[in-house]
A = this chain, B = another copy of it.
Amino acid sequence: MFQNIVSLSHHIIKEKVHKGDHVLDATVGKGNDTLLLSQLVEDEGSVYGFDLQAEAIGITQKRLNTESNYKNTKLFQADHSQLDKYLPADLELQFAIFNLGYLPSGDKEIITKAETTTMAIEAILPRLKKDGVLAIASYIGHPGGMEEFLKVQLLVESLDQKRYNVGMFQFLNQKNNPPRLFIIERR
């Protein structure tokens, strides 16, 4: 459960996401989270996925076609800071997730950026349902990673305690700058 950021975030996903929920993967990447979300919300729910890179959208669409049992996912090759243009205006989210940084085994020059990341977070927060969670895995080892981490931290630590439970999980005994996980739970 606490082996790495993926095992922890997938534990939280399984705890929070159920059949019929509406959820968002703000950084589709290779589709690991998208696929898990698709399986959990089933036909009654919906998954929205964003990624700037055609490669990520292509890989993930292929995985959904072959590995998911449900046709419940809409992928957009678009900037997640623009998500309000793509999501139904009244869509409330039970769960949303970011994996910041670059596409694993992709072009490491193409990274998420503090400015658009914080815009996307601010667009997601008002859509969270009660007890819904926004999880943000923040990688700090690459150039620009620490800057993005600090800007996200500044944003989320200012959220009203009466409306959101905001916490962070970090590994203490791992080398090579392990990622940190922000968890924002709507009260």
Contacts and interface: CB of A to CB of B under 8 A. Distances in A.
Interface of A: 1-3, 11, 15-16, 131, 133, 153, 156-161, 164-175, 182-183, 185, 187
A14 to B, nearest CB: 11
Those 9 A-B pairs whose CB atoms lie nearest each other, nearest first: A157-B172, A166-B173, A2-B165, A2-B185, A166-B172, A169-B169, A167-B171, A161-B173, A159-B173
Contacts of A161: 173-175
A8 to B, nearest CB: 8
Contacts of A2: 133, 165, 167, 183, 185
Contacts of A185: 1-3
> Assembly of this chain: how many copies?
2
Given A183-B2, A185-B2, A185-B3, A173 B164 contact: yes
Contacts of A159: 173
A158 B161 CA distance: 33
Given A2-B133, A3-B165, 20 more contacts: A1-B15, A1-B185, A2-B165, A2-B183, A3-B185, A3-B187, A153-B172, A156-B172, A157-B172, A157-B173, A159-B173, A161-B174, A164-B173, A165-B173, A166-B171, A166-B173, A167-B170, A167-B171, A168-B172, A169-B169
A160 B172 CA distance: 11
A4 to B, nearest CB: 8
Nearest to A158: B173
Contact of A172 (B16, B167, B172, B175): B167
A16 to B, nearest CB: 8
A135 to B, nearest CB: 10
